[in-house]
Chain A
């Protein structure tokens, strides 16, 4: 034993050193252990997840192939989009049909124009003009009808003109129609230098009608203490006439002698 023990002491030393030599082994073992404990199951779950995904996507593919719609939100969106596209397609078809019809009428028009080479752009209007020319004075080479068509135009120029007019009409129709308005500057005159001009202005402004907007005003000296009221108003061309305006204003005959239009401009 003692011998053994002496040996042992050396061995012990070695053995104690062995711990260090073996460290990689232990490490390996530890690694193996941990891998054994955690690794395999985790890998397995990952694989499972992938498999599940594959299955899901397979299902998805299947379902989308079958055209089923009740699966996911994303699909619904797609479907609604498709529906709107179908609708759009429909309207486009309609537009094409309309355009075809329009083209047809245009073609017809061109055909009629070509048939009657001397006819003007507007055959209906041109016809009486021609009659007048033939009937009246043949020697007079000037076109009597000022508002009529130009006489020098040949067919080609006429067609070019018509084309341009059509293009213009097309362009014009896209533009929103503006309401034509005018700006008026009115001189409103009292009876004498004692007329209450504030009251007079009140009377003028009390005149209300559709398409009429009263604007700024001022008093302008005329002479001998008389002042006149200058007042602007904006009128819509189609709704307000100067006659009716004058009529309405001069109804206040206790205050107003007359009105004059001092300026009349397009807006």
Chain B
């Protein structure tokens, strides 16, 4: 029964001191995740040491210590269940390479949970210029995470504790910058919680009688929630893109004795079936699917999200490689692009970006150097309105529409038709210097503009 729940990836973002880990720990601890046997072991140990009153904190510490030693591969440590969903938590690290991973990585976030501390000074530091709150929220929005939930944490540490005034102050502030980023603030839920003491996490608290819950009107009925768990449960399910044409970026290509060539990758959109004729791009090769396997089990069809291997006829291993995209040859087959237009945000570039700048783009599994051929216009990140035509240069924090040309064949798509094939990270000097989404592509043959 648990298996039937829709799976949702939640990325937890927030400033260092916002209490992210405690909050996620609480959810995982109370709602599934932690394997019962291990939990019992820890709880027993805690009781023996006379720490039963701080049991939760103690167990969290233990689990953290375990993770610090890398002792478990158990991803279930980051899972919990709501009534409708099975959720996997991605606790966003401050690591500079995380952004790239968020864009090209295997697990795309469906929902962002922004944790903001209401404690004196911590909220101010979190949303300040140097704080991570804004940057994380902006990235989440830019990369297509349109659902965001805000929990106003550490309500037990406000002055006075559980202060409605402080909560409202924080809501006003955060709403302000979420609006600037582009979120529709009317639909963003805010929940006052304490991840430490558990107020409003799983059960509604009596300590904040002024909080009557969060309500939102939207398609498919109203959503309400008094606790974080309820609010998480009320999110809209991620759209599964079964009905779109097939797109499957290749991760690896194997040569298996007695079987032949086996490409492996994750299905992003559409359905893969045996007997289907595939087109690989930019390799420009067509081949028929003989069989599909996942985890060593044969499958009748592969669906979006599945990491599958499939056997194809008459193609040599050397003709395919990581970064190629497979699609149905009969239904909008993938093609390589001669150029594409993208909206980029310059992130950590130490200097100035001018036309001709050529960083390496990581887009799905492809890894290709692309040239900023033309800086078309500088734009307002929130509204998308033009600020300046043909800017001479771009610096960190700027958003712009640029025309880019890959220096070797590459298959990408517009973000609006195939989101995961339309977002990229530009890397230079071993860091992510820009992130972007592709607005339109110019296909190699026919040079037809595709929205």
Pairing of A with B: yes
Q: Is the CB of B256 within 8 A of A217?
A: no
Q: Known contacts A147-B129, A223-B264, A266-B20; decide if A180 and B93 are in contact (CB<8 Å).
A: yes
Q: Is the CB of A215 within 8 A of B93?
A: no
Q: Is the CB of B120 within 8 A of A164?
A: yes
- Give the distance in Å from the alpha carbon of A172 to the alpha carbon of B257 in the complex: 60
Q: Is the CB of B138 within 8 A of A146?
A: yes
Measured CB to CB, the nearest residue on chain B to A152 is B176
- Given B17, B21, B124, B128, which contacts A266 in the complex, CB threshold below 8 Å? B21
Q: Is the CB of A192 within 8 A of B296?
A: no
Q: Is the CB of A192 within 8 A of B257?
A: yes
| Across-interface contacts of A260 in B (CB, < 8 A) | 105-106, 251
The reply on A218 being an interface residue by CB < 8 A is yes
| Across-interface contacts of A189 in B (CB, < 8 A) | 251-252, 264
The reply on B35 being an interface residue by CB < 8 A is no
Interface string of A92-134 (1 = CB under 8 A from B): 0000000000000000000000000000001001000000000
The reply on B311 being an interface residue by CB < 8 A is yes
- Given A183, A237, A261, which contacts B67 in the complex, CB threshold below 8 Å? A183
Q: Which of the segments A13-21, A77-85, A224-232 contacts the partner chain?
A: A224-232
The reply on A267 being an interface residue by CB < 8 A is yes
Q: Is the CB of B180 within 8 A of A142?
A: yes
| Across-interface contacts of A11 in B (CB, < 8 A) | none
| Across-interface contacts of B20 in A (CB, < 8 A) | 266
Measured CB to CB, the nearest residue on chain B to A243 is B430
Q: Which of the segments B96-104, B212-220, B229-237, B438-446 contacts the partner chain?
A: B96-104
Measured CB to CB, the nearest residue on chain A to B128 is A165
Q: Give the shortest distance, in Å, between B70 (CB) and chain A (any CB).
A: 2
| Across-interface contacts of B94 in A (CB, < 8 A) | 180, 237, 266
Q: Give the shortest distance, in Å, between B21 (CB) and chain A (any CB).
A: 7
- Give the distance in Å from the alpha carbon of A263 to the alpha carbon of B64 in the complex: 16
Mostly, the B contact residues are mixed
The reply on A167 being an interface residue by CB < 8 A is yes
Q: Is the CB of B251 within 8 A of A232?
A: no
A166, A180, A222, A237 — which one has the most chain B CB atoms within 10 A of its CB? A222
Interface string of A202-238 (1 = CB under 8 A from B): 0000000000011111101111111000111111010
Q: Is the CB of B180 within 8 A of A226?
A: no
Q: How many residues of A contact B (CB 8 A)?
A: 67
| Across-interface contacts of B125 in A (CB, < 8 A) | 165, 168-169, 172
- Give the distance in Å from the alpha carbon of A215 to the alpha carbon of B98 in the complex: 20
The reply on B294 being an interface residue by CB < 8 A is yes
The reply on B48 being an interface residue by CB < 8 A is no
Q: Is the CB of B129 within 8 A of A149?
A: yes
- Given A191, A216, A264, which contacts B70 in the complex, CB threshold below 8 Å? A216
The reply on A72 being an interface residue by CB < 8 A is no
Q: Give the shortest distance, in Å, between A226 (CB) and chain B (any CB).
A: 5
Q: Is the CB of A167 within 8 A of B68?
A: no
Measured CB to CB, the nearest residue on chain A to B295 is A221
Mostly, the A contact residues are mixed
Q: Is the CB of A142 within 8 A of B294?
A: no
Q: Known contacts A224-B309, A264-B95; decide if A258 and B252 are in contact (CB<8 Å).
A: yes
| Across-interface contacts of B121 in A (CB, < 8 A) | 164-169, 171
- Give the distance in Å from the alpha carbon of A150 to the alpha carbon of B97 in the complex: 29
The reply on B325 being an interface residue by CB < 8 A is no
Measured CB to CB, the nearest residue on chain B to A245 is B97
| Across-interface contacts of A168 in B (CB, < 8 A) | 120-122, 124-125
Q: Give the shortest distance, in Å, between A214 (CB) and chain B (any CB).
A: 7
- Give the distance in Å from the alpha carbon of A244 to the alpha carbon of B124 in the complex: 35
| A interface, CB within 8 angstroms of B | 122, 125, 136, 142-150, 152, 161, 164-169, 171-172, 180-183, 185, 189-194, 213-218, 220-226, 230-235, 237, 241-244, 257-258, 260-267
15 sampled A-B residue pairs with Cβ under 8 A: A147-B134, A189-B252, A193-B257, A215-B69, A215-B71, A216-B72, A217-B73, A223-B293, A234-B67, A242-B101, A243-B427, A265-B78, A265-B89, A266-B91, A267-B93
| B interface, CB within 8 angstroms of A | 17, 20-21, 64, 67-73, 75, 78, 89-98, 100-102, 105-107, 120-122, 124-125, 128-129, 134-135, 138, 173, 176-177, 180-181, 251-257, 259, 262, 264, 292-297, 307-309, 311, 322, 380-383, 387, 397, 427, 430-431
| 9 closest Cβ pairs, A-B complex | A215-B70, A168-B121, A223-B293, A223-B309, A266-B93, A182-B93, A221-B296, A164-B121, A242-B97
